[in-house]
Amino acid sequence: MKTRLIITGLAISLLALPWGCSSVDHRLGVERSPEPAPFVPTPEDSGVAPDANMALTNYCPSSECPAGWMTCPDSRFPCDTNILADSRNCGGCGIACPEGNGTDGFICVEGACKLQCSGGQFGGKDCDGIVDNGCESGRLDPNNCGACGVACDADVECTWQDKIGGEVGCGCPPGTMNCSGSCVDTTTNDSNCGACRNACNKSGPGKPPRPHGYYGCKDSACGHFKCEAYWADCDGDEETGCETSMVSNDSCGACGRACAPGQQCVLDMDGRPFCACEDDGLTFCQQLVQNGVPKGECVDVKSNVRHCGGCFVACTATTSSNERATCDYGQCSVVCVDGQADCNGARSDGCEVDTRSDPHNCGGCGITCDLSIGQACVAGKCVVAPCDEVDAGEVPR
């Protein structure tokens, strides 16, 4: 006898609601122990006031594919192909999207192949809507500067606003100048002081040398006293030069900024001084040494997959692409990605079960759809569909 579900005439999904790993069968929204009870939404569930005249709808297990799903020649299970998103079966079985050229490609969106531009540092844009010429507009296209339809004036270039690979825009922001395609602050830039390619002589001809100091660009003019990287003139006396290291425990990144006892002034991965490790419970993992100063990052070795239990102890998933590595309290472990499960307990084949489509393990290990009528599993739920009273096991009146 087929399972009967009595549902009020409210719009619901044709897929049963709960799912997950469980010893109790939830695939049709009911518990089987031993006979299933009908799932009847309450007015509170739907947010709609009850209507005494509402008709009741019977739902039964179904082998029919819901809209957007099909059983294709390369399918492993019934109804396991999402033709709205599968680039190999986009809009129908066997309709494959073009592979692209390595930088530009195609994806399946709502059952249609759509051109996807790679983006990135020099990635292009599809501004003309013509698929045949791909992503024809580059990042520095003056007719589409940064975005399609943003056109620069005839005498203005499309340039990097801060650095190559960063933001782009028409011209340069106030106070900066276009030097070799990048916007540069020529008021302070030692290599482009007051004008592009006007490099300052750091020895400052005719001026005395100062410890850890040099003469560079300030207010668009060369010859001004400046400090080398990671040094500062904290006493304000030019004759003593730049006497204070900015990577010392007494002045870490700023004059007088002292690190707490037990901390050390180091460089982060962007080269900025900081006290390691200011947050309790973190460990400093040194990546390298820059100018004699340790450079690295503070990590939580209890949860960091690259530093699990200690620096550079990396967790990896080696058995399949359907699992991922995790770090739990300093111990490496492997978990299944969403939609996959390890149902046989064997590590040799990883997360071998697709719980999104397998009717024997629908939504979780051991959750079985009605195999006698070929009930399909779609998106981790056993499919149901409206049925008449005869199909539901009722005697018609």
- Domain boundaries of the chain, sorted by first residue: 1-78+367-397, 185-245
Q: Distance of CA 21 to CAs 189, 257, 294, 366, Å? A: 62, 53, 47, 8
This prediction's pTM = 0.60
Q: What is the pLDDT of residue 230?
A: 94
The Cα-based distances of 230 to 47, 233, 274 in angstroms read: 63, 11, 12
| Spatial CB neighbours of 40, under 8 Å, sequence gap ≥ 6 | 6, 7, 8
pLDDT of residue 12: 35
pLDDT at 119: 63
Q: Which residue has the tokens 């009146």?
A: 397
Peptide bond into 34 cis (omega under 30): yes
| SS3 (DSSP) at 45 | helix
Helix and strand element counts for the chain (H, E): 1, 25
Give the three-class secondary structure for 326. Answer: strand
pLDDT for the residue numbered 35:
34
Q: What is the reported pLDDT for 28?
A: 33
Residues 5 and 36: their CA atoms lie apart, in Å, by 9
Report the amino acid identity of residue 394. Answer: E
User: What gap in Å lies between CA 378 and CA 140, rounded to an integer?
Assistant: 45
The DSSP secondary structure of 70-114, one letter per residue, reads E--TT-SSTT-EETTT-TTSSSSTT-PPP---SSSEEEEETTEEE
- The reported pLDDT for the residue numbered 50 is 53
Q: What's the pLDDT score for residue 17? A: 34
The pLDDT value given to residue 258: 95
The stretches in the chain having pLDDT less than 70 are 1-55, 101-103, 119-123, 318-319, 389-397
Report the pLDDT value the prediction gives residue 37, as an integer from 0 to 100: 31
Measured between alpha carbons, how far is 133 from 235 in angstroms, rounded to an integer?
62
Report yes or no: 111 and 90 within 8 Å, Cβ to Cβ. Answer: yes
Two tokens, residue 339:
């939609």
Give CA 106 to chain center in angstroms: 19
Q: Which single residue is written with the structure tokens 């020895």?
A: 203
